[in-house]
Amino acid sequence: MQLQVTRAALRPDDADAPPSSLRATRAARSRPTQTDAGARERPVARVECVECGDGTARARIVDYRYPHPELLDASLRAAIPRWRDWIDQWSLERGPAPRAYLDPLIPDELRFRTHNRRELALESDVFRVGAAPVWLRLETIDVLGARWRGGVRVWRDDAGALVTALASS
């Protein structure tokens, strides 16, 4: 993380403050926050698991949105037209047993955008799925800094078909 000290980072009422009162701020401070953009609710995501063959599958984020987008600032909605551009980072944790929602996420995979690499793959790596359930916990962080967490349970039925259910832990 790179910190930057500037007079521009000061609040307007601090503009005439002596140099000793300069504060260090993140360069990304100018990004809008959830409150600045008018978001008063949490985003929701939809995740599905797809068959890859040979007893494997992969998780895929297929939708991400705010339930009431009309509450968001119009200029922000115009600047981010595709739902997939809202997500800045996502992580995935796989495990044989459920974990509590508030337990820290220990990601097996982490994907994020950088300044130079704006495309973000919304599919996980391939993982093995058998008769015993695999519990997936996902977390996304969007351009406003809002977090979404969700869980999915994946297993194979007696016929070998992939079964996915929302996880409740």
Q: What is the pLDDT of residue 135?
A: 94
How do residues 118-152 score in pLDDT, each as one tens digit? 899 999 999 999 999 999 999 999 998 899 999 99
Backbone angles phi, psi at 42, to 5 degrees: -85, 145
How do residues 68-109 score in pLDDT, each as one tens digit? 888 888 888 899 989 999 999 999 999 988 887 778 889 999
Q: CB of 49 within 8 A of CB of 154? A: yes
How far, in Å, CA of 140 to CA of 122, rounded?
10
How far, in Å, CA of 127 to CA of 58, rounded?
6
Fold of 31-166: Immunoglobulin-like (2.60.40)
How do residues 4-51 score in pLDDT, each as one tens digit? 334 344 344 444 444 443 333 333 344 555 666 666 788 999 999 999
